[in-house]
Structure 1
Amino acid sequence: MVRTLLTPRMLGLHVLTAGVLVAFILLGRWQLGVFQDSGRPQAASDPAPVAVTALAPAGAQLTGPAVGRRVSAEGVYDAGSQLLVADRPPDVDVPGGNVARGGGYWVLTPLRLDDGTLMPVVRGWVARAADPAAVPEGRVTVSGRLRPQEGTDSVQRRPEGLPAGQVQTVSTGELLNLWDGAKVRTGYVVAQPPSGSLTQVKVSPPVVGGTLTWRNLAYAANWWIFAGFAVFMWFHFVRDGVRAERDHRKSPEIVLEG
């Protein structure tokens, strides 16, 4: 039997089957990868900036398409109402920091628009509360990305109370109380570029959920079925070859008499 399996014909069959198996398995994995990638969030289109007043209402929630959009706003900063958002890294997409790790602070300043409403603006990031965060004077134009307001429980609270002038979240309801009942627009703008010498707070562009392409999963299954069929055919040819060799050995020799 071993001699039969090692004949040149059988060795060629073994090599061919191994090559087909490797190719079909890799093709199946490729199609599976395409299927998995299709379900991941994809970067959405990033249209030109629009006025913040068109997307951030006062007294209403932001709509989904507005989150992450580039916006611009003109007005005057209210330096006297500036706040620090405690325990924050310089990245919007990272959860609230930790004092032991030196989370840092977002510098949150209200921008008074021409209609009298206030738009919260994260002008940048500082490592310590005592770091300088001078507010620009006069009329300014702010560009950045719009973010939704945070719930008061969206990050872990400190065990002790915060010092005056600091908040834990960018909550519109809380800001209404801290800013003397002024008309505050929903959400906040992360300034890009940052104001003055402040460190830039990173914020990602909007993303959309991926759509699973089930067709690619079916293609992957097909390639693996083909691989299984190749193994079946290899077994079939090997079995037939072994049987033929065994029958040949058992058959009686025919002696011709002259």
Structure 2
Amino acid sequence: MLRPWWLGMLGFALLVASVFAWLGQWQLARAVDTSPPEPGQTEIVRPIADVSEPGAYLPDPLVGQRVEVTGSFVADDFIVVSSRFDEGVEGYWVTGQLRVDPADTGSDAPTSLAVAVGWTGDRETADAAARALDADPPQDVALTGRLISGEGPAVPPRSEPWEITRMDPAALLSRWSDIEDLDVYRGYLTSAEPFAGLDDIHSPAPEERSSVNWLNIFYAVEWAVFAGFAFYMWYRLAKDAWEKELEAIEDAAIAAGAEADAGGTAEAAPARD
């Protein structure tokens, strides 16, 4: 182990272990939230501009945050979204495109937010509400509700290719009108006040998150194990080389002893006439 080659290998093992240790520290630093949001923060109604921006992903601590927003709904853009469960009962949401007031976004660019305006367990009621809202879309409304991350797209049923089964603003955007140069929020709003005689959407407060991320702690432990394994590999390789040298010395000694025994036997043999 004190030979130059193995000292060099030890230096390499130290370098590898240092990298693993840094990665473990990086994971550990992100495992504990030293400034978690105070309990009940999501229930404080905040302006939407303080919570999210158009096109930006909603940060985890702000998912489910209650916000306020003003704007006007766009005609002919009320769409029914199926597979919506309300306290365990399957039903439908009626959703619309809310053109947000520029004062709420701080930008003159047209900006829209997908809003779920109510729930019903009956498809005919949902379709009727959507038609009524398309004919007379609410204008200059002030809404409060929860801002939630989009659920992502899903393949529609083969029998209903235009059916939307997930609350995905991108999927709704593909069905909206007047979308040229339009900015869109990635999240959506569940309105606290229902429209068109629909039932209000059951949207409870999100569960309080733990300040400890156990998955990151597990990763940090893994990196520590990898760092220790680098030293074990150096020790194991050095020991294997040492054992091979011992075997070679022993084999050479045995061979030398065998030659000596063979020479002695030849000298002790009697001479023949």
Which residue of the partner structure matches residue 206 of structure 2? 206
- Aligned partner (choices 154, 167, 174) of residue 170 of structure 1: 167
Counterpart in 2 of 1:57?
53
- Determine which of 96, 110, 117 is the counterpart of 2:97: 110
Larger helix proportion of the pair = 2
Tell whether the 8 Å contact from 1:90 to 1:199 is kept in structure 2 after alignment. no
In the TM superposition, residue 47 of structure 1 has moved relative to its aligned partner by: 4.5
The 8 Å contact of residues 43 and 205 in structure 2, kept in 1 or not, is answered as: no
In 1, the alpha carbon distance for the partners of 2:91 and 2:206 equals: 25
Does the 8 Å contact 1:90/1:200 carry over to 2?
A: no
Say if 2:107 is the partner of 1:120.
Answer: no
- How far apart are the structure 1 equivalents of 2:161 and 2:202? 24
1:119-198 equivalence runs, <5 A: 119-131=113-125, 132-133=128-129, 134-135=132-133, 136-153=137-154, 157-163=156-162, 166-180=163-177, 181=179, 182-198=182-198
Tell me the CA shift for residue 130 of structure 1. Answer: 2.1
Contact 2:46 2:66 in 1 (8 A): yes
Identity across the alignment (%): 26
Superposed counterparts of 1:82-121, under 5 Å: 82-91=78-87, 103-115=90-102, 116-121=110-115
Alpha-carbon distance between aligned partners in 2 of 1:151 and 1:141, rounded to the nearest angstrom: 27
Point out where structure 1 has 5 or more consecutive residues left out of the alignment. 1-41, 98-102, 213-258
Match of 1:250 in 2: none
Per the alignment, in what secondary structure is the counterpart of residue 186 of structure 2?
A: coil
Deviation at residue 151 of structure 1 after TM alignment: 1.4
Larger radius of gyration: 2
Q: Tell me the TM-score normalised to structure 2 length.
A: 0.51
> What's the secondary structure of 2:184's corresponding residue?
coil
Query: What stretches of structure 2 of length at least 5 have no aligned partner?
Result: 1-37, 103-109, 213-273
Counterpart of 1:147, as a letter, is I
Q: What's the RMSD between the two structures over aligned residues?
A: 2.6
Number of the residue aligned with 1:3: none
Distance 1:129 1:56, change over 3 A: farther
Deviation at 1:79, TM superposition (A): 2.9
Deviations 1:174-207 (A, max 9, x none): 2332225432111111111222411111112132
Sort the Cα spacing of 1:113 and 1:211 in 2 relative to 1 into closer, same or farther, 3 A.
closer
Summarize the Cα distance change of 1:63–1:105 in structure 2 as closer, same or farther, 3 Å threshold.
same
In structure 2, what is the Cα distance between the partners aligned to 1:196 and 1:43?
34
Partner of 1:66: 62
- TM-score for both structures, normalised by structure 1: 0.54
Cα distance, 1:138 vs structure 2: 2.3
Equivalent pair of 2:156/2:164 in contact (CA under 8 Å) = no
Partner Cα separation in structure 2 for residue 59 and residue 72 of structure 1: 18
CA–CA distance in 2 between the matches of 1:145 and 1:174? 20
What CA deviation, in whole Å up to 9, does each residue of 1:43-77 have, x standing for no partner? 64344211223323222211112211111111111
Number of matched pairs: 158
